Structure 1
Amino acid sequence: MLDTLAHTLRAHPDRPAVLGATRTGAVRVKATHADLADLADRHTAALHARGIGRGSTVGVAVRPGPRALAVMLAVHRLGARAAVLDPGAGPDVLRARLALARPDVVLADATAQAVAGLARPLARRARLALPDLAELGPVVTVGPRLPGCAPALDSGARTTALPRPVDEDGDAVIVFTSGTTSSPRAVVHTRSSLAAGMATVAELVAPEAGRPVLGGTFFVLLPSLVSGAPVALPARPPRVLARQMRQLAPQATYLTPPQLRRLLAAGGRFTGRVWTGSAPASADLLTRVKQAGADEAWGVYALTELFPAAAVEQAEKASFTGAGDLAGTPLPGVAAKTDATGELLLSGPAARHRCLGREPDPWVATGDRAHLDAYGRIVLEGRLKDMVLREAENIYPGLYEPALHVPGVELAVLVGVPAGDGDEHLVAVVQPSRGADRDALRAALAGPLERMGAARPDAVLLADIPLAGRSLKPDRAATARLAAVRLAAVRRSDGSRG
């Protein structure tokens, strides 16, 4: 698909490719097809001049947008692989990841650099940090260069003839996921697995030429641009995003569940089909999205190791009455099974080839406990590592959390709090929607709590749930600490009254 995109950009140079929004929500063109193609050619020439080619590794710390896409096109053309670096991970984590990936060069934009001069305070304001340049190895700046940044990638120079595009399979991208500072975990996708994932997205979303799509991820940008649909990068402030949505009336929208909740709170309206993933999306959230104007609202189950794996539309999810969280039917080409422990295993053309430093394995261990229902649909029962042990009984939160998402609930998670004797208390932490009546909410929760039987929580706390990561998933460890503090305060209060 990257090869097809390179051809499409040249075939239709005047088409808008990437759209942005002003503070008023007005739409502006950030890059045309010709802009992207020219930028990709300049990056290709500059990297080629530095000796980057088949077998090379290029570290990429560039914010999502036209420049990041142009970098990926250049790396792909040269047959190199891109190691995606998250500048927000912190110096220690980055140092360990770089030691594993061993990039030949690191491309970083100004906002991703915390070096001397003006770049350091800029990065501090953006909450970004990179180790010293000497530890990173060769670093070059792509995009506008501020004083104190690394030397610029010589993207102004053009060779008389660009190298012939590499046309064979091989490593395409390294994406770091979970893992410790001392032992990072790096997922390796090949050119063929990446292409298979993007083809699945294109078939699932089926964007129409000329109508905008809203979203900022690589898997949204590529299929949309290949189909001739311009992509609008979502504004960050919810109220600006709401105005942007009104201006664009996108045919398809991809936002994470936290973005959807904030947009709904800001009075946002939807058009066309809406897709969400990267974090749990309840049936209630998808219902609210459709009530706010969407024709369809889809939850996508995807992993870094296999994107996308399954999808479910709001109507199907809302009608599901079984225990657990319905993730949907595996998408074409995706095979699913469970092992003896109940862990969900996935395989297919879009599955990662291996983890860096490990042998290839055709089956992706998801870390999710699940089962396949009578219709072959994936039903999640919770993360294996999230299991709570209470009175010698294993409790999997994912089996019960969906039932807690009654109207008026924004988020709900079940966490274990140490009981002091090796056992755990099970606590439901429920985040009310803005303006929800708390007494009415507790009354609405009574029925679902009663139906949890032996898994009924020892306590229910109404509180904002901490979020973590770029996808802003519920931070269960932080939520458990919050629950422990709140329960201890209640006990102290009860003791003082006694």
Structure 2
Amino acid sequence: MTLVRRLLDQAARTPGAVALVAGDGAELTYGELRRRVLAVRRGLLSAGLAPGDGVLFSVRPSPESLVLALGVVAARGVVVFADPGAGPEMFTARLRLARPRWSAAESVLYAGSRLRPVRAYARRRGLLLPNLARISTDMRHLYVGRWLPGVPRGALSFARLAQGDAPEPDDVGDPDAPAAVIFTSGTTAHPRAVVHTQASLATALDLFRTRLPLGPGDVVHTDQLMLGLPTLISGARWSMPPLSCSPAGFAALLAERGATHTFCVPAHLADILDAAPRLPDTLRHVLLGAAPAPAGILRRAMAAAPSAEVLSVYAMTEILPVAIASAEDKLAHTASGAGGDLLGAPLTGAAFAPDGELLLSGPGLCRGYLGDEPFTELPTGDLARLDGHGRLVLMGRKKDMLIRGKFNLYPGLYEPAIAALDGVAEAAYVGVPDPVTGDEEVVLAVVGDASGLARRLPAVIDHDALPDRIVELPALPRSGRGRKLDRDRLRGLVTR
């Protein structure tokens, strides 16, 4: 059964239940969600969408974006998430690789692409918008929102599609055909995009639900599609925060909407807890992901939501989730001195290369990278091992390895233990190359109190991993939506 079919069937069982609460508080029932998805599907097919057609998707998280994405997949199209915020050059490079036949964007983005005053305003706000209408002249266009100057002539209106006929379909897509393309990394010369099928995405949702109980009556507060979809398939309620929601606003909505589950990037949760040190008692599960969760954040989350289970999710765009560990287990592992960061029991196939690199496989694995041959095993670039309980332990990233003489230092092996020390909020290693010896000066950057830290380190890390220098910073540099540590920028901050 396809992903879309499962969602439609759930909606048919509980048509009067609230499926989604939008950022502005507007509610959408399961019955209306189902009707809109089928109406958009019918409208796209009538407008000529063919099986396998890529739809460039430039719509921010909202009820409209959910309905549109599901309607595209139900019509056998492929949703291409290219992110216009990546900048014009990268956006154009991604477009060249994906070669979508359709473009779906918010009307304000079309206006920003065509109207000079809007582009100038966006540039002043630090956003370099691609000229979407110009670089996609051969595409069919669809806009979300009210019509604005700059929307291409002949573009379809999402609102009109969603109000159209919604006949019951016999077919809502091939489970093994591409359903979504997600750009993750690469350069303008060689962009990289992950290709998922309905089947691989459905497997990912099922894996989430094996570790995260969900059902009618639950309220999941998140803007993450990969947590919102299992919410809807289980009959629970998806609560969306508004765009650019403040940390205080996010916390207030958790209480106002009676959230039972929420997902945060660790750095975002830190901001939320600064604004609201106590989270509502309705919370039963707090998920952290997209970046490693420092011990300090885990402790704060447990203190802020004592009735909730705090979970850390290890996942990759190519296959998710890979493992889920509780905060208690992660902190106990760190305290044991075993080294590395506990990830939890593998939820999918896991093997190891001779050098310790983690290799992943299973039905949740993506089809491959766009333009490349399909694969059945993913080299992750992460070094890992299994502990005595069969749980994955992250030892570090291969590319982050520092060279000190004959010793190879993997930051991920030691950073969790350092960050768990009293007075240390976060810790990160970085190497500053020595132009004379070719060796690297090993610098430890910490957020917190670095006084006396050098004397305490020998008790928690290997002698060869002791830093040459310790630098105290007000914060570690981060980038992207996941606010992951940016080691290149960090190297610049600590270079003398």
TM-score of the alignment, normalized to the shorter chain, above 0.5: yes
2:429 counterpart of 1:382: no
**Bigger shift: residues 143-152 or 50-59:** 143-152
Aligned partners of 1:111 and 1:126 also within 8 Å: no
2:426 pairs with 408, 411, 418, which one? Answer: 411
2:220 counterpart of 1:209: no
- Distance in 2, matches of 1:81 and 1:131, equals 22
Offset of 1:445 from its aligned partner? 6.3
Residue 281 of structure 1: SS of its match in structure 2?
Answer: coil
Identity of aligned residues (%): 35
| Aligned residue type for 2:331 | A
Offset of 1:29 from its aligned partner? 2.8
2:156 counterpart of 1:153: yes
| 1:393-430 residue CA offsets vs partner (Å, 9 max, x unmatched) | 32111111111112433322100112222221111111
1:183 pairs with 171, 190, 204, which one? Answer: 190
2:466 counterpart of 1:456: yes
Aligned partners of 2:196 and 2:367 also within 8 Å: yes
| 1:430-451 residue CA offsets vs partner (Å, 9 max, x unmatched) | 123xxxxx3xx53356423553
- Distance in 1, matches of 2:465 and 2:361, equals 32
- Distance in 2, matches of 1:225 and 1:126, equals 35
Corresponding position of 1:239: 248
- Distance in 1, matches of 2:44 and 2:23, equals 31
Offset of 1:204 from its aligned partner? 2.0
Corresponding position of 2:485: 474
Residue 359 of structure 1: SS of its match in structure 2?
Answer: coil
Where does 1:258-277 land on structure 2 (aligned, <5 Å)?
Answer: 258-270=267-279, 271-277=283-289
Corresponding position of 2:146: 144
1:194 pairs with 190, 196, 201, which one? Answer: 201
| Aligned residue type for 2:388 | A
- Distance in 1, matches of 2:237 and 2:67, equals 15
Gap change, CA 1:387 and 1:112, over 3 Å in 2 = farther
- Distance in 2, matches of 1:302 and 1:145, equals 39
Corresponding position of 2:440: 424
- Distance in 2, matches of 1:128 and 1:207, equals 40
Ranges in structure 2 where 5+ consecutive residues have no aligned partner: none
Ranges in structure 1 where 5+ consecutive residues have no aligned partner: 23-27, 433-437, 489-498
Corresponding position of 1:51: 48
- Distance in 2, matches of 1:178 and 1:54, equals 27
| 1:337-368 residue CA offsets vs partner (Å, 9 max, x unmatched) | 11022211111110111111212221111111
Aligned partners of 1:245 and 1:268 also within 8 Å: no
Corresponding position of 1:491: none
**Bigger shift: residues 246-255 or 118-127:** 118-127
Gap change, CA 1:13 and 1:52, over 3 Å in 2 = same
- Distance in 2, matches of 1:193 and 1:111, equals 33
Aligned partners of 1:61 and 1:107 also within 8 Å: yes
**Bigger shift: residues 130-139 or 211-220:** 130-139
Aligned partners of 2:42 and 2:166 also within 8 Å: no
Where does 1:47-446 land on structure 2 (aligned, <5 Å)?
Answer: 47-113=44-110, 114-117=112-115, 119-121=118-120, 123-124=122-123, 125=125, 127=127, 129-137=129-137, 138=139, 139-151=141-153, 152-155=155-158, 156=160, 158=164, 161=167, 164-168=170-174, 169-235=176-242, 236-270=245-279, 271-294=283-306, 295-320=308-333, 321=336, 322-331=338-347, 334-405=348-419, 406-421=421-436, 422-432=438-448, 438=449, 441-443=450-452, 446=455
Task: Give the TM-score taking structure 2 as reference length.
Answer: 0.89
Gap change, CA 1:131 and 1:367, over 3 Å in 2 = farther
| 1:93-129 residue CA offsets vs partner (Å, 9 max, x unmatched) | 1111111111010111135443123653564447252
Offset of 1:33 from its aligned partner? 2.5
- Distance in 2, matches of 1:32 and 1:127, equals 35
Gap change, CA 1:221 and 1:354, over 3 Å in 2 = same
**Bigger shift: residues 113-122 or 303-312:** 113-122
Gap change, CA 1:57 and 1:474, over 3 Å in 2 = same
| 1:180-212 residue CA offsets vs partner (Å, 9 max, x unmatched) | 110111111111111101111122212131231
- Distance in 2, matches of 1:287 and 1:226, equals 32
- Distance in 1, matches of 2:315 and 2:4, equals 21
Instruction: Give the number of aligned pairs.
Output: 471
2:10 pairs with 8, 11, 17, which one? Answer: 8
| Aligned residue type for 1:278 | A
- Distance in 1, matches of 2:109 and 2:463, equals 50
- Distance in 1, matches of 2:299 and 2:168, equals 50
| Aligned residue type for 1:105 | W
Task: Give the TM-score taking structure 1 as reference length.
Answer: 0.89
